[in-house]
Structure 1
Amino acid sequence: MKQPFVSLDQLNAITAQYPTPFHLYDEKGIRENARRLKAAFAWNPGFKEYFAVKATPTPAILKLLREEGCGTDCSSLTELMMSDRCGFTGSEIMFSSNETPPEEFELAARLGATINLDDFTHIDFLEKTIGHIPETICCRFNPGGVFAIGASKEGFQVMDNPGDAKYGFTREQLFEGFRKLKAMGAKRFGVHAFLASNTLSNEYYPTLAGILFELVKELQQETGCHICFVNLSGGVGVPYRPDQPANDIEAIGEGVRKKYEEILVPAGMDDVAIYTELGRFMLAPYGCLVTRATHEKHTYKEYIGVDACAANLMRPAMYGAYHHITVMGKEDAPCDHKYDVVGSLCENNDKFAVDRMLPRIDMGDLLVIHDTGAHGFSMGYNYNGRLRSAELLLRQDGTVEQIRRAETPDDYFATLVW
């Protein structure tokens, strides 16, 4: 069973000061996970994690990760601005976007961020926009087709469909693009790829690394471009369900190392740095949505209404995604009641759980919805005029800090013209 990182006594104290719903993050867990990742890739002197800002765009979290040696991966103007305000500078920022407006390239260049181009046509667009091609540049590769990893020791298959994705250069465009970028003044090159999401397989990163290492070896040989880094992007997942196995980041790092020594070292490319852009893996398990049971309904099904809704966590409504739920204080009680746990939106998909077996829920019970630390608060919205909740940080010493206040009606009306 999944265990919350916070106790009922702690939550009772927190909710006496901060009303539910709210997102709560675990500083201790975040820091320990960042250190595990860094240790797993310590064999590569240039290794750096560029945290995907879109997963959790919260300054206190970004600053915490910066203290642990992470950079940021940005995909918009405001994410660049947030990184800048949080103290990230120059090569600590990776800018990976698509269909990019010119002002975003302009800011990325002004901040000295490493720009990761998504399309061949963006080469001329970037040069026209900022007046030159940066000396360090990256391109996103899309191999097309279907990417699959056969059944792993965990007992399942990883598959995604790059051919249907809107992102990246084809192989032919990548070779042509590198030659063009070199002629336009680029001196240091990187390759980026993202082929599958939320994988629960220790084989994903090593398999992707093998593909990219073979690619960059050929790129350097055929174009003469100096490949400085390979960005494995994200895709290393987390077990949302309690019966799913967690990834072993040490085994993953070792798998990438073996591919590196097998492919790049013999090619004289042992100076290539490895980058990652992990959002979900870095943060998801270290955040939760805390909500309170407020209503019960007995019709064709048994419903428990809570004070959170899909505006606070839209993954279940959007994807049918599973998030485990703990009824606080009843962790050891039998799960002998079948409920739909629902929010208050005027949409029938506003459900955190459907036909979920849980302990008996009484009105006023606190529920912890697990694994919301990434793509939780960040995907919030204001449908039905619902307001975004507060974000709180559980510090290592047990104290709690509000790192984003809850929205108010004044915030909701602030941008309107009457």
Structure 2
Amino acid sequence: MHHFHYTGQKLHCESVDLAAVARLHGTPTYVYSARTIEDNYRRLAASLTGLDLQICYAMKANSNLAVLRLFANLGAAFDLVSGGELKRVTAAGGSTARSVFAGVGKTEAEIRLALETGVFGFHVESEPELARINHVAGQLGRKAPIAIRVNPDVDAKTHAKITTGKSDNKFGIPLKVAAAAYEAAAKYPHLEIKGVQMHIGSQLTSAEPFVEAVQKVIPFVEQLKQAYGISYFSVGGGIGIVYQDALASGDAAWWSARPEGERPLTPEAYGAALKPLLAPLGLKILLEPGRFLVGNAGVLLTRVEYLKRGSNKNFLVVDAAMNDLVRPAMYEAYHELVPLLRDSARPALKADIVGPICESGDCFAKDRTLQTVGEGEFVAFMSAGAYGYTMASRYNTRAMAAEVLVSGSRFELVNARENFDAMLAGEKIPGFLKT
């Protein structure tokens, strides 16, 4: 659930009128709800009460410094996948000592930075990576804490581009050969075996794939505990969010009214399914959620530029584009679109929702029905808090969007809209072209 709702005819984030944000800071602008993030974090933690639990926020979903500081204040650690993300955690005042470093392509420079800064563990994706981490740790005269990511070959039944737990994905070491990988790791003098990790994919809407994967890996976890005295088991992240009917899903009544088979996966259902499996292990349990914590906590505000009426199709042209929110173009992803000023008296409009970029792929939705809106009015893409700004680009020399954080009746610009000078700051014309 989330805290975006209509108060009268106006769309609000918590107690803030989103039209006021759009008028003050312009568009496109991402807006995040602090209360939604806090609620999501606390519900997930409560669902696994009794376990020695460490939540490592997967910051690739949303790495804004204010969002990271909010998580740090809540007690979260972080799941990092680059040296840049590690530096962001430090800049936000978060704990790297409780955070994990994942990813299939860690460079020597990133490994060195992580060792010098101090991380809870490296989640290792391959045997060559074991050798590289050992080499860098040896140069620094340290022991590197590691856990190997095992691939349980479980179909998460999610989008092909975000599944990670099948044998034909690039991630992890197949479960059937993972024992040999641990034997190899044990022979390296500068590695310390601390745990084991798995992650089967993103946007899972059922607990069954999680249960299947955990049940498949548990016997191996028990073997590792006996053989190497491991102290933790990371079960990854992947809990999905609501994209369709996203605005309605902020209402508790909406959830309870859904037929049982159509209810999205809740943290309570997730915890009820996994806690009985994990508790007997007697290990620290790491979770690495990203989208679940921030996805429904954000919207992208945009302004209508034109309503282009055609003989066969209408086009609603907005000032946001695929460079701001790439998920529809990349994943064919659905984002609900709602007006900031709701007016039931207006006729319905059926249109393709498109941006200004010179690509046919710059299309947010086809044949979408909403109330008629015109030039200068504001609309919001819902469920845009995850993989929105973090996947944005400057394509067509478009500036990166602004970001705003809301808490109650307060809101603050936490990332200013990029200006043209900043876009060109790292570029230059070489002397040999200056004639």
Q: TM-score, normalised by structure 1?
A: 0.89
Which shows bigger deviation, 170-179 or 276-285?
170-179
Specify the SS of the correspondent of 1:162.
coil
Count of matched residue positions in the alignment of Structure 1 and Structure 2 = 399
Select between 330-339 and 53-62 the one with higher mean Cα deviation.
330-339
Aligned to 1:408: 419
Q: Which amino acid aligns with 1:4?
A: F
RMSD: 2.4
| CA distance in 2 between partners of 1:334 and 1:274 (Å) | 52
Query: For 1:181, which of 164, 182, 185 is the aligned residue?
Result: 185
Structure 2 CA distance for aligned equivalents of residues 190 and 382 of structure 1: 40
User: What are the residue-to-residue correspondences of 1:243-322 with 2, within 5 Å?
Assistant: 245-261=263-279, 265=280, 269-270=281-282, 272-299=283-310, 300-322=312-334
CA distance in 1, matches of 2:406, 2:147: 37
- CA shift digits 1:63-97 (9 cap, x unpaired): 00111111111111111111122222343221002
Counting only pairs closer than 5 Å after superposition, residues 93-172 of structure 1 correspond to structure 2 as 93-113=99-119, 114-131=121-138, 134=143, 136-144=145-153, 147=155, 162-172=166-176
Instruction: String of CA shifts for 1:201-230, please: whole Å, max 9, x gaps.
Output: 133333332222222013334xx1112111
Q: Which amino acid aligns with 1:227?
A: I
1:2 Cα deviation after fit: 9.4
Query: Can you list the C-alpha shifts for 1:40-71, whole angstroms capped at 9, x where unaligned?
Result: 11220x21111111111111000001111111
Specify which of 229, 241, 263 is matched with residue 244 of structure 2. 241
State the partner residue of 1:154.
none
Q: Aligned to 1:258, what secondary structure does the other structure show?
A: helix
Residues 302-347 of structure 1: CA deviation (Å, up to 9, x unaligned): 0011111111100001111000011122264677321111110000
Could you tell me whether the CA contact under 8 Å between 2:165 and 2:171 is conserved in 1?
no
Say whether the 8 Å CA contact 1:120–1:174 is kept in structure 2: no
Q: Determine the structure 2 residue equivalent to 1:360.
A: 372
The answer (yes or no) to whether the contact 2:157–2:204 under 8 Å persists in 1 is no
What CA deviation, in whole Å up to 9, does each residue of 1:362-407 have, x standing for no partner? 22221110011010011000111111110000112x1110110001
Unaligned 5+ segments in structure 2 are 247-261, 430-435
Structure 1's 172 and 135: CA in aligned 2 closer, same or farther, altered over 3 A? same
Within 2, Cα distance between the matches of 1:331 and 1:106? 57
SS of residue paired to 1:341:
strand
Q: Distance in 1 between matches of 2:415 and 2:152?
A: 40
- From 224, 229, 236, the equivalent of 1:226 is 229
1:31 equivalent to 2:38? Answer: yes
| 1:68-107 matches, cutoff 5 A | 68-107=74-113
Structure 1 CA distance for aligned equivalents of residues 343 and 123 of structure 2 = 46
Amino acid at match of 1:242: D
**What CA distance in whole angstroms lies between the structure 2 residues aligned with 1:137 and 1:169?**
14
Unaligned runs of at least 5 residues, structure 1: 151-157
Q: Counterpart of 2:250?
A: none
Show the 5 A alignment for 1:313-392: 313-330=325-342, 332=344, 336-392=348-404
Distance across 1 between alignment mates of 2:392 and 2:238: 22
CA distance in structure 2 between the partners assigned to 1:211 and 1:65 by the alignment:
31
Residues 107 and 40 of structure 1: CA distance in aligned 2, closer, same or farther (over 3 Å):
same
TM-score in terms of structure 2 length: 0.86
Query: Could you tell me which amino acid in structure 2 is paired with residue 273 of structure 1?
Result: K
- Alignment partner of 1:22 is 2:22: no
Contact 1:2 1:324 in 2 (8 A): no
In structure 2, relative to structure 1, the CA distance for the partners of 1:51 and 1:333 (3 Å cut) is: farther
State the Cα distance separating 1:12 from its structure 2 match: 2.7
- State whether structure 2 residue 176 is matched by structure 1 residue 196: no
Match for residue 218 of structure 2?
213
Of 405, 417, 430, which aligns to 1:393? 405
Structure 2: distance between partners of 1:389 and 1:187: 43
Structure 2 CA distance for partners of 1:112 and 1:173, relative to 1, 3 Å: farther
Over the matched positions of the two proteins, sequence identity in percent amounts to 27
CA contact (8 A) 2:77 2:96 kept: no
Give the equivalent residue in structure 1 for 2:56.
50
Q: Deviations over 1:116-150 (max 9, x none)?
A: 11101111111112216735311111134x52579
